Structure 1
Amino acid sequence: MGELLSLEAIEELEWTAETAKFRPVNPRWWKAQTKLKIDRKRRENRGEVLGMPSERDEPWRQALKLSEKGYTGPAGGRQSSAGLFPEARGTTAQVPGLYPWSVGAGAPIVGTPLGMHLETGSPVCYDATNWMTRGGFITAPVTMVLALNGYGKSTLVRKMVLGSIAQKRTTLMLGDAKPDYRVLTEEVGGQVVELGFGHGRLNVLDPGAMGQVLTRLSGDPDYQRAIASDVRGRQVTTVAGLIELLRGRAIDDFEVTLLATGIELLYSDYGFTYDNPPILEDLHALIIAGHPDLYADAGLDAPEGLTPSLSLTDRDREAERAQGEDRRLYEEAIRPLRRSLNSLIRGELGAVFNGQSSVRLDLDAPAICVDVSLIPQSEQKLRAAVLMACWADGMAAVEGAHILADAGLAPKRTFHVVLDELWQVLGAGEALVDRVNSLTRLNRGIGTELTLCTHSYKDALSLSSSSAREKARGFFERARVKIIGPIPSGEVALLRDVVELSEREIAMVTGWATPEALTGEAARPGEKPPAPPGMGKFLLKVGEGSGPGIPLQTVLTDAEVRSKIHETNARYSHVNLAGANS
């Protein structure tokens, strides 16, 4: 351990250091300081520093001898790094004093890997189906993803979709508006359905998958009639919803009855089948021509001699010959409905809805993407109408799969439905709000995980009627998991209406949305510009958010990067970043 200096030697070295420190570059000063430092260290190791207890005062020191590397004996030796501090976990009710600064410290390893925990670096896994069925963390598989555009919201949802596909859950992206999910669907061998001007049609009177179910079922005729009645009800609801969307108000009761009777007559009296369904133009022609049952629905007597079994073409001619007060009253009664149906079979809407469906949904595909990006953004009403029809067709297909499974004709399955760009739906009118409202309430009963995506909670508060605002607010409340990305500070006060956020969480999500200083140079050729500070960062809150959330950073695998399924800025890929400022 080395010999200690005598008191005389220490005094001499201290005097040398004191007198030599004012001389420039004096080796005697440096040498004296070094010897003093070594001596002090040796004395510390031997416990001979002034004020430290000696072995006489504390006998236990005799058992543990102090060396240059620390105390000898059990548990002795040098500690090269500080150990971890002990951690304690508890609910906010148990540790209320820590709550304002607390944040989720971990995440269950249940579900699809999404990224890493921002605080601990541990993996964060989530998908609503597993969190409900395997973990028991939530009561309904509904997720709301909320973030400003451009911060990786769609990337996060695509990772959730990949996890669903890997677990054999058929995923339906019903109404992909950008499109954000088309490349992913093609990469996994799924089905892509295009809808738009000259790019496919969707016949709302086509029973689709439910029609295939009826052709495969056999046995109980009462059960078949019940399913057929459900098919008719869905068709009536869809057509009535489209009309309400066009009118901007609810359809009259007797008009709904006319639609129901007309659709029933087309299948029962005019030779249409599930393989050869009618189109909206056929329904329009039948209502104009009239039928004794349709007259009765309008509260009128049919003209004398009106034959029920005539073909649609002959019925048009008979309608022209029909005279009398009842005919005149019938024409007045159906005029608003006739105009609304005419809007659906002509013009821009007719290009999509008036014709046989170009493609039927294939539930054997691992994923289905209905691409509506070909419809211009300016045609918001048309987009909303297509979205409504897509959802009706998609949910009917899901229910059809469950019916076949219950009958033992197909395996039991679960599904994942993604409704992206929810702001477009909410801005289209109350009819679509009602449609989403029913989905968020009934999805658990039909074995369907539901993911809703939007930019702002303000979208729900911007609806015209108070009833629609309350329904839209219910979307956020019923979402058992809310994933919040970068949001502006003005959004926080509104969002606290449906989820509780601590001060630290508020600082976190608003800080992610704060841009960095506008300094620096442009990226060089082949390089990407730096990502915004909040890119890929999200806060996962369960329920109403009474506990701390889980902050996470999405992480992309090499396979995801190579496949470019997350590349949403393909239109800018040709831009020379280095020459953009030249």
Structure 2
Amino acid sequence: MANLTLSKDEQKDLRAPRHAAGPAGTKKRLGGRPGAWGWGGRGGGAAGPISPTPEYRGTTVQVCGLYPFAAGAGTPLVGVPLGKHLMNGQTMCADPISWFERRLVDTPSAFVLGRPGKGKSSLVRRLVVGLTHAGVVPMIMADLKPDYVDLIGAIGGDVIRVGRGVGSINPLDPGPVRGLLEQMSPRARERASADLRARRLAILASLIELVRHTAITAREQNILNVAMRLLDEQVTDRELLVGDVLAIIRAQPAELRYVALDRGSEDKYQQETEGLEEGLMALGEDGPFGAVFARPTSQPLRLGVPTCFDVSAVTDDDTLLQAAAQAVCWSYGSSAVAAAQYAADDHIIDQVIHFLVMDELWRMLRAWEGMVDLCDAITRLNRQMGIGQVMITHTMADLKLSRDDLTQRAWGFVERSSMVFLGGLADKEMGNLRDVFDLSEREVALIASWSEQANIDPRTHTATAPPGQGCFLLKTGKAPGTPFQVHLTASERAVNDTNKRWAALTHTPKTATSSHDQTRGDR
């Protein structure tokens, strides 16, 4: 048998006095109370990994007997299931309409902010699917990529295509309201007609400003208003066209000369209306937009059916037409939905809740900052009608315009939204979010961490999923935010590919490539 030699520490332990067995002896030997990582002293030692306490989720009736080790969940299970709470793993449910009906928020409106590729469209598509199954009718006001065409087609909706050689949309088209006005009571008809006139005047004035890049004057607005009123009285068998407005202005009826303040001078009248004629001609078939806004609407809107206005045929370099198409689709869809609300209030048709999706807000504002007034008018009218809506853009920097008053008006879209979903944003891209929603330092750091870029796998030369993909912080006022992550189901993935145009260009670079191949791989 081999001889064993004890170390000095082991020999010291053998000569140490022994403590009595039992709790008192153990406490004396280990040095009293345990520390944060376990018992110290001889025979003790710091613990390694500490096992987390098991967590279970259940109803109040089930877990009430576990007091004091039970904690209430922070978010109600009301609305569309969006994903998992990042802190406690609870199912996160929310949408502006369901929360408004339960009085959890003041208005059925939401705003989504986040950098490209962080999952904004996926979040909104989840809202659309969930609300559709709850009986809400979604309407995608202008799909530019397109992001929602496949989804609307999958749920049995209509896709209205707008663009050169694809389809036209008349900014003065009353839509389905024309057939409903005759059935309404006099009071309801008056309200619906006034709302329709206000929306048509707003969109026509905004389009003229867009093509002229100058604001319309009060006198010009009066001329347009009277011109459309006269046309409504004269043209009853078809929808009005932009060319009709141009024709009646050139006809110089007494009513228009009166509001033009021409003082009996034809030269003065022509001087006052020259700018309007210029803008209306630009919207005609001989203008830069061609027949897109000059002809009757090619595909009518059907009430009560999920609808997507597909404007992806308009290229990104045609910024004016893109912004104009967005504006007309927003106005046309909102006008039709508002008319349906009036008809339902008058018991002509069944009450239907609509959910309007207004994406890529920054494109309109970049084309012409004056479009902020049109957006403001549309969203205010929608809120008054009780229509649910969500607006989407990248960062608060998109809403920063050349003048402070315009910036404040654009930031007001976010401030007036009862629910704000904040995705990955860099610190400088948050604008006034800290003040408006009382963001804590921890919330700011969390949102900023989601904006980081993905890591590159050295073996496959491909990027992993970005750290903040699908992650959002839901803020309702100044209350603490709720962080969650959207997880797509298998059935959703088929309608969530927003990079279809790149599918045919997929290129996997080799380990050693020429400079030409490296350029292709970086695209």
TM-score in terms of structure 1 length: 0.74
Aligned residues: 470
Q: Distance in 1 between matches of 2:413 and 2:27?
A: 69
1:438 Cα shift? 2.9
1:474 Cα shift? 0.9
Contact 2:188 2:342 in 1 (8 A): no
Q: Distance in 1 between matches of 2:52 and 2:275?
A: 80
Report 1:310-325 matches (<5 A). Answer: none
Contact 1:143 1:481 in 2 (8 A): yes
Contact 1:213 1:403 in 2 (8 A): no
- SS of structure 2 residue aligned to 1:349: coil
Q: Deviations over 1:419-473 (max 9, x none)?
A: 1111112223343211222344343331211111111111122x12222111012
Q: Distance in 1 between matches of 2:413 and 2:195?
A: 26
1:215 Cα shift? 3.1
Task: Say which of 218, 221, 239 aligns to 1:256.
Answer: 221
Q: Provide the residue aligned with 2:279 in structure 1.
A: 340
1:521 Cα shift? 2.1
Unaligned runs of at least 5 residues, structure 2: 29-49, 58-71, 514-523
1:301 Cα shift? 6.7
Report 1:328-367 matches (<5 A). Answer: 328-345=267-284, 346-365=286-305, 367=306
Q: Distance in 2 between matches of 1:142 and 1:395?
A: 14
Q: Provide the residue aligned with 1:566 in structure 2.
A: 496
Does 2:140 align with 1:201?
no
- SS of structure 2 residue aligned to 1:216: coil
- SS of structure 1 residue aligned to 2:292: helix
Q: 1:348 to 1:223 in 2, by over 3 A?
A: same
Q: Deviations over 1:196-248 (max 9, x none)?
A: 1111111122211221221333xx44553454344333322221121122233
1:327 Cα shift? 2.9
Q: Provide the residue aligned with 2:357 in structure 1.
A: 418
- SS of structure 1 residue aligned to 2:459: coil
1:418 Cα shift? 0.9
Structure number, greater radius of gyration: 1
Q: 1:532 to 1:354 in 2, by over 3 A?
A: same
Report 1:163-562 matches (<5 A). Answer: 163-217=130-184, 220-221=185-186, 223-269=188-234, 272-273=235-236, 275-300=237-262, 326-345=265-284, 346-365=286-305, 367-461=306-400, 463-492=401-430, 494-522=432-460, 530-544=464-478, 547-561=479-493
1:410 Cα shift? 1.0
Structure 1 range deviating more: 283-292 or 510-519 = 510-519
1:81 Cα shift? 7.5
- SS of structure 2 residue aligned to 1:404: helix
Contact 1:176 1:420 in 2 (8 A): yes
Q: 1:450 to 1:293 in 2, by over 3 A?
A: same
1:556 Cα shift? 1.0
Q: 1:231 to 1:449 in 2, by over 3 A?
A: closer
Q: Distance in 2 between matches of 1:110 and 1:465?
A: 40
Amino acid at match of 1:258: I
- SS of structure 2 residue aligned to 1:164: helix
Q: 1:330 to 1:552 in 2, by over 3 A?
A: same
Q: Provide the residue aligned with 2:521 in structure 1.
A: none
Q: Provide the residue aligned with 1:128 in structure 2.
A: 96
- Over the matched positions of the two proteins, sequence identity in percent amounts to 34
Q: 1:291 to 1:52 in 2, by over 3 A?
A: closer
- SS of structure 1 residue aligned to 2:475: strand
Contact 1:197 1:348 in 2 (8 A): no
TM-score in terms of structure 2 length: 0.82
Q: Distance in 2 between matches of 1:49 and 1:442?
A: 74
- SS of structure 1 residue aligned to 2:125: helix
Q: Deviations over 1:266-292 (max 9, x none)?
A: 2323xx22x512311122122112222
Q: Distance in 2 between matches of 1:576 and 1:233?
A: 48
Report 1:149-168 matches (<5 A). Answer: 149-168=116-135
Q: Provide the residue aligned with 1:51 in structure 2.
A: 25
Unaligned runs of at least 5 residues, structure 1: 1-12, 23-28, 30-35, 38-42, 55-79, 88-103, 303-325
Q: 1:516 to 1:477 in 2, by over 3 A?
A: same
